[in-house]
């Protein structure tokens, strides 16, 4: 660590102009007049634009899904006529300093006529008020993944567990907020954009389309990114605005938002309500599941994920790794006068998993089965493969029962229940929660289509053996903290049998290669896939040349320990550097028709869904005095196939668990009835800190994928898919001791207090 990392805010350009964006103070209003004359006259101001200036240059960000009945929306780059959420961009000032831009912003005078506001899911469904007139009845999409008849199952069930789970709206809150710099060279016609994005190639193509600009003259450069977590996996209107200004003014334009803007107007996430029920027979076997979920999607569809990223995508894996024969679901994606909903680690899966696992525990309690036993009776196992879930996911492999067994040992279940009883006598509520999950990882074309997100994707990578035998890899995958430079170098080093230091990975510019982005836990799968395939293609030539020089067959050549040699006899061969030198400089050594380019570009897109799996367990304690929940212990079992780098995998697990603690216990973007965001600072929006996160015990299982070179599966989102459910399960296990439960999140002290007020078994605890 040298401390020399350069983020957007660190990039220095001579002649750069700074941008400040005026944002709507109202959730829904008509703009009747804007006066920018005082701002234009302010010292240092170079340009002021409103929606009327931008509209002829770009009609807005259009997001759609090619699904029948889907209602697309267009989010203007700067609002014109109407604003639809608090924080929507209304005007922009460009000035020679950030201070001048911000001062001038205060001089802009906007007249608004307030309109009625759709502030929550209930009023969106009622549709007496319309949040965005492009969307009739406030409904972007009504999805049904499964329409099985479940009435009979519910009628004959020995136990029906049901609930209505309200998830909180949260923000991915990357440490570095959104930002970009655009520079347009009028001499060359080149547009260069430095953006803290997770999807550089996608951004390049979208800029070409939205700016009507020649794509071959656009380069997107991604410097260090201070966390993305899905929030930077979108094309944000501000990025288009900054490019338009750079083209117009011929000077580099820099935009970096502050924390308040980030909380107001970067995408929000996870805001859905799940009304779920599970029918269980007397033996504890699941018969059917029913779910109706509604997403509070905000005023516009985000590009590219749209409102469907929440409950609609969530529905696709809602039955998880359980043998549930019949499933009936409906998901409503609704517009409201709020900031658009977007991707955030674990996307639509987090909320549904909380509901499902809480209900499984509830059924277990009713039937007298331990949380491990009821899951064990229902998990898909070896003998079921291939198992097709009601939503059409084919489970070919996985270690669900092993995961559960492992968690049971790690938790030491028997002794936990003893501790729980002893604690109760002292007035303390301890609880244990579990979740076992599937992760649709390494998302490519097949997985996107399974998730009803009809987009096709592939990535490419280039591998070159340099004349001195060193290796250069170029990849389109950028890291926001996932450590790709290390793991991708490992992939190439292993492929060529050379030390890690001999490999350099070039990432961070769209000049390198094409790819969809670092999203949907696809880095490991696409990195291993593209680099693995490109390396194989180069190795074919290396083997061909070596076989010629060593007078043997190409199939008998091995690369290991920096040498190219006859398999089984390392001394019969040469250093890779010598072979590379021969390829580049010694034409006379080449076999006939030899192509000496020790370089290959390969594409990869897995032939099917790459399904990873695992589970989490949480032990929490509720303090009856303060109603605070403390997470005492966390356990994770991860099966992401072959691990490239266990330390990085464990880092991903720990980071995701920290976010899960934030999502379930602390974080909430609170809006008032007028759609005003109340939590606009990190004093109000509570992020977890190190004192909230316990040490995490981690175990690994490794079921290699035969769909991906190297057998890897992805895992970057796993902890945010499943740990929230384990934590809420633990809170509800503790509350069950006194006959209480929470179904609204986060499980804040107020909500715990309210739950305890409603408790039916108060005499169970001396302190209550
Ligand atoms: N890995 C491995 N062996 C495996 C699987 C993964 O060594 N079998 C390594 C990979 O090589 C990579 C890391 O673990 O270095 C994560 O890999 P993967 O699961 O493929 O996820 P991605 O690289 O695609 O990262 C995206 C994922 C997502 S979608 C979100 S959201 C998220 C996450 O990563 N955002 C993050 N983790 C994050 N971590 C940080 N620090 N910052 C973010 O913004
Ligand atoms: S939410 Mo991750 O960028 O798929």
The Cα–Cα gap between 66 and 73 comes to 13
Task: Check residue 406 and give its pLDDT.
Answer: 98
Q: How far is the CA of 717 from the centre of ligand 2 (A)?
A: 7
Q: Hey, whose CA ends up nearest to atom 11 of ligand 1?
A: 524
* DSSP string for 97-122: SHHHHHHHHTT-EEEEEE-----SHH
Q: Identify the residues whose C-beta falls under 6 Å from ligand 1.
A: 227-230, 345, 480-484, 487, 518-525, 640-645, 648-649, 652, 655, 712-717
- Of all ligands present, the nearest one to the C-alpha of 507 is 1
Task: Check residue 767 and give its pLDDT.
Answer: 61
Q: Does residue 762 have a pLDDT over 80?
A: no
* DSSP string for 373-397: HHHHTTB--GGG-SEE-TTS-EE--
Q: Does residue 538 have a pLDDT over 80?
A: yes
Q: Hey, whose CA ends up nearest to atom 13 of ligand 1?
A: 482
What's the length of the chain?
768
Task: Check residue 455 and give its pLDDT.
Answer: 77
Other Cβ atoms closer than 10 A to 298: 27
347: Cβ below 6 Å to ligand 2? Answer: yes
Q: How far is the CA of 45 from the centre of ligand 2 (A)?
A: 37
Q: Which residue has the tokens 């331990």?
A: 370
Q: How far is the CA of 611 from the centre of ligand 2 (A)?
A: 16
Task: Check residue 768 and give its pLDDT.
Answer: 63
Q: β-strands 61-63, 73-75: how paired?
A: antiparallel
**Could you tell me the strand order of the sheet in which 286-296 lies?**
139-143, 326-334, 286-296, 272-280, 159-166
Q: How far is the CA of 262 from the centre of ligand 1 (A)?
A: 23
State the closest ligand 2 atom to the C-alpha of 232, by its place in the atom list counted from 1. 3
Q: Hey, whose CA ends up nearest to atom 4 of ligand 2?
A: 520
What are the chain's domains?
A: 12-115+176-226+232-265 (3.90.1170.50), 268-446+607-758 (3.30.365.10), 458-604 (3.30.365.10)
For the chain, what is the mean pLDDT? 96
Task: Check residue 686 and give its pLDDT.
Answer: 98
Give tens-digit pLDDT for 547-560.
999 999 999 999 99
Give tens-digit pLDDT for 194-235.
999 999 999 999 999 999 999 999 999 999 999 999 999 999
State the closest ligand 2 atom to the C-alpha of 443, by its place in the atom list counted from 1. 4
The Cα–Cα gap between 237 and 19 comes to 14
Q: Does residue 668 have a pLDDT over 60?
A: yes
Q: How confident is the model at residue 611 (pLDDT cuts 50, 70, 90)?
A: very high
Q: Hey, whose CA ends up nearest to atom 37 of ligand 1?
A: 716
State the closest ligand 1 atom to the C-alpha of 642, by its place in the atom list counted from 1. 8
The Cα–Cα gap between 312 and 330 comes to 8
Taking residues 273-288, report their average pLDDT. 98
- Of all ligands present, the nearest one to the C-alpha of 718 is 1
Q: How far is the CA of 166 from the centre of ligand 1 (A)?
A: 28
| H helix intervals, 18-110 | 37-41, 51-54, 98-105
Q: Hey, whose CA ends up nearest to atom 3 of ligand 2?
A: 230
The Cα–Cα gap between 517 and 343 comes to 13
State the closest ligand 1 atom to the C-alpha of 233, by its place in the atom list counted from 1. 31
State the closest ligand 2 atom to the C-alpha of 520, by its place in the atom list counted from 1. 4
The Cα–Cα gap between 642 and 609 comes to 16
Give tens-digit pLDDT for 478-533.
999 999 999 999 999 999 999 999 999 999 999 988 999 999 999 999 999 999 99
Other Cβ atoms closer than 10 A to 448: 19
641: Cβ below 6 Å to ligand 2? Answer: no
Other Cβ atoms closer than 10 A to 568: 8
- Of all ligands present, the nearest one to the C-alpha of 439 is 1
Q: How far is the CA of 220 from the centre of ligand 2 (A)?
A: 20
State the closest ligand 1 atom to the C-alpha of 641, by its place in the atom list counted from 1. 8
Secondary structure (3-state) at 361: helix
Give tens-digit pLDDT for 566-609.
999 999 999 999 999 999 999 999 999 999 999 999 999 999 99
Q: How confident is the model at residue 186 (pLDDT cuts 50, 70, 90)?
A: confident
Q: How far is the CA of 354 from the centre of ligand 2 (A)?
A: 19
Q: What is the DSSP letter of 561?
A: T
The overall pTM is greater than 0.95:
yes
The Cα–Cα gap between 651 and 658 comes to 11
Q: How far is the CA of 720 from the centre of ligand 1 (A)?
A: 12
Q: How far is the CA of 759 from the centre of ligand 2 (A)?
A: 38
Q: Where are the beta strands (DSSP E) in 210-304?
A: 218-221, 253-256, 272-280, 286-296
Q: How far is the CA of 228 from the centre of ligand 2 (A)?
A: 8
Closest residue by Cα to residue 198 from 445, 440, 481, 463: 481
Q: How far is the CA of 95 from the centre of ligand 1 (A)?
A: 38
């Amino acid at each position: 660590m040298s401390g020399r990392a350069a983020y957007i805010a660190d990039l220095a350009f001579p002649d750069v102009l700074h941008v400040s964006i005026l944002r709507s103070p109202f959730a829904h209003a008509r703009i009747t007049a804007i006066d920018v004359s005082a701002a234009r006259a302010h010292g240092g101001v170079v340009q002021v634009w409103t929606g009327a200036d931008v509209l002829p240059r770009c009609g807005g960000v259009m997001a759609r899904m090619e699904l029948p009945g889907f209602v697309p929306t267009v989010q203007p780059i700067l609002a014109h006529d109407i604003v639809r959420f608090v924080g929507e961009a209304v005007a922009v000032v460009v000035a020679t300093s950030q201070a001048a831009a911000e001062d001038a912003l205060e001089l802009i005078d906007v007249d608004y006529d307030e309109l009625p506001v759709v502030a929550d899911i209930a009023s969106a469904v009622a549709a007496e008020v319309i949040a965005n007139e492009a969307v009739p009845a406030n409904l972007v999409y009504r999805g049904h993944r499964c329409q099985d008849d479940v009435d009979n199952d519910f009628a004959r069930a020995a136990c029906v567990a049901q609930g209505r789970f309200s998830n909180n709206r949260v923000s991915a809150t990357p440490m570095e907020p959104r930002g970009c710099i655009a520079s347009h060279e009028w001499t060359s016609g080149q547009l260069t954009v430095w953006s803290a994005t997770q999807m550089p190639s996608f951004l390049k193509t979208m800029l070409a389309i939205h700016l009507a600009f020649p794509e071959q003259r656009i380069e997107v450069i991604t410097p260090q990114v201070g966390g993305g977590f899905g929030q930077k996996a979108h094309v944000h209107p501000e990025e288009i605005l900054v490019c338009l200004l750079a083209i117009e003014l011929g000077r580099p334009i820099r935009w970096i938002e502050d924390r308040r803007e980030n909380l107001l107007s970067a995408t929000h996430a996870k805001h859905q309500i799940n009304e779920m029920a599970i029918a269980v027979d007397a033996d504890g076997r699941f018969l059917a599941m029913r779910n109706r979920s509604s997403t509070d999607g905000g005023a516009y569809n985000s590009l590219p994920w749209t409102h469907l990223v929440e409950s609609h995508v969530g529905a696709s894996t809602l039955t998880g790794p359980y043998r549930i024969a019949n499933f009936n679901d409906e998901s409503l994606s609704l517009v409201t006068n709020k900031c658009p909903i977007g991707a955030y680690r674990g996307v639509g899966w987090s909320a549904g998993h909380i509901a499902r696992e809480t209900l499984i525990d509830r059924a277990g309690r009713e039937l007298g089965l331990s949380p491990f036993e009821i899951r064990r009776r229902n998990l898909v196992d070896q003998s079921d493969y291939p198992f097709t879930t009601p939503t059409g996911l084919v489970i070919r492999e996985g270690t669900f029962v092993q995961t559960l067994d492992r968690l049971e040992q790690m938790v030491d279940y028997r002794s936990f229940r003893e501790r729980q009883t002893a604690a109760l006598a002292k007035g303390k509520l301890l609880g244990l929660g579990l979740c076992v999950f599937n992760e649709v990882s390494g998302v490519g074309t097949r997985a996107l289509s399974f998730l009803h997100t009809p987009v096709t994707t592939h990535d490419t990578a280039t591998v070159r053996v340099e004349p001195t035998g060193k290796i250069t890899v170029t990849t389109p995958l950028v890291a926001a903290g996932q450590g790709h430079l290390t793991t991708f170098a490992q992939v190439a080093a292993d492929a060529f049998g050379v030390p890690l230091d001999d490999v350099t990975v070039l990432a961070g510019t769209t000049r390198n290669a094409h790819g969809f982005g670092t999203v949907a836990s696809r880095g490991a799968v696409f990195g291993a896939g593209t680099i693995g395939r490109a390396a194989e293609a180069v190795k074919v030539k290396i083997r061909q040349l070596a076989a010629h020089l060593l007078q043997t067959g190409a199939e008998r050549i091995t690369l290991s320990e920096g040498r190219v040699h006859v398999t089984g006899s390392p001394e019969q061969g040469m250093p890779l550097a010598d072979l590379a030198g021969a390829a580049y400089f010694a034409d006379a050594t080449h076999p006939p028709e030899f192509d000496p380019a020790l370089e290959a570009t390969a594409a990869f897109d897995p032939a099917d869904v790459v399904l990873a799996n695992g589970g989490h367990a949480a032990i929490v304690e509720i303090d009856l005095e303060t109603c605070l929940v403390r997470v005492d212990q966390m356990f994770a079992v991860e099966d992401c196939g072959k691990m490239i780098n266990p330390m990085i995998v464990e880092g991903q697990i720990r980071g995701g668990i920290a976010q899960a603690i934030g999502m379930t216990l602390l974080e909430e973007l609170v809006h008032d009835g007028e759609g005003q965001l109340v939590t606009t600072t990190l004093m109000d929006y509570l992020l977890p800190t190190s004192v909230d996160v316990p040490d995490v015990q981690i175990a690994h299982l490794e079921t290699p994928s035969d769909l991906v070179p190297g057998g890897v599966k992805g895992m970057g989102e796993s902890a945010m898919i499943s740990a929230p459910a384990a934590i809420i399960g633990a809170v509800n296990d503790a509350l069950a001791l006194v006959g209480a439960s929470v179904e609204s999140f986060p499980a804040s002290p107020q909500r715990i207090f309210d739950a305890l007020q409603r408790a039916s078994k108060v005499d169970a605890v001396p302190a209550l």
